[in-house]
Amino acid sequence: MRSVRDLKIVRSLARHRNFARASEELAMSQPNLSRALARLEEQIGAPLFERSRTSVLPTAYAEIVLERCDPLIEGFDEINRALEARRIEAETGFRISVGPYSAVAVGVTGFLAHLTAHRSARGQLVTRDWRTCLEDVLERRSDLAITSTQSAEAFPELEAESLGGGPLAFFCARTHPLAQAERIEWSDLMRFPWANTVLRPHWLRFLPEDLGAAG
């Protein structure tokens, strides 16, 4: 184990017994999580989990890590919180935590527009994973977070408001059959495979039930 991230990977997989749920908690894709686990097992020279098609079970080697990891993780997180709090105390202005997708969609543009309109304003825009964005606001490290509203609504102490709502754009090659069509329906899009980043489960409710070739 070379970092606290390694400990969190073992703990999350043991807690959820499932790569999909663990990758959601760790804010990383399932392929990256699988590669990270394989790297850990190669480092220690022993399997940490027994894998089946539906679940993973911790081995005796993982149990050694699990018996000792909680205070180590909490101590590391506490150091980071203390360092972050002290750094913020020394700053003036406002601080916004923004998720990677939100940064591209609205975060950077809105932040620059505000600074342009208010020349004397001082602020900081930091890109974080969606879970850390919420923690920043809850622990008063940031004044505002721009991330998934569904995630924020799980915390009654936070006030959430939806932004944007613009069109969703799909891209294809100029020679693709879809590029030749005058009008495209959802059924047309489902006839072809998609290439996209990992979607969080709640995004699926915006898509048709039958994903066809896209799924």
Q: Decide if 155 contacts 134 (C-beta within 8 A).
A: yes
Q: How far apart are CA 96 and CA 132, in angstroms?
A: 12
Instruction: Kindly state whether residues 27 and 81 are assigned to the same domain.
Output: yes
Q: In the numeric block, which tokens belong to residue 142? A: 């940031």
What is the extent of the structural domain holding 201? 177-214
Tens of pLDDT, residue by residue over 130-150, are 778 888 888 888 888 887 766
Q: How many residues does the chain have?
A: 215
Distances (CA, A) of 97 to 9, 21, 133, 142: 24, 24, 5, 6
Tens of pLDDT, residue by residue over 66-94, are 999 999 999 999 998 888 877 766 555 67
Q: Residue 184: which pLDDT band, with cuts at 50, 70 and 90?
A: confident
pLDDT of residue 119: 62
Instruction: Kindly state whether residues 192 and 141 are assigned to the same domain.
Output: no
pLDDT of residue 5: 92
| Res 43 pLDDT > 90 | yes
Instruction: Kindly state whether residues 144 and 96 are assigned to the same domain.
Output: yes
- Reduced to 3 states (helix: H, G, I; strand: E, B; else coil), residue 158 is coil
pLDDT of residue 143: 83
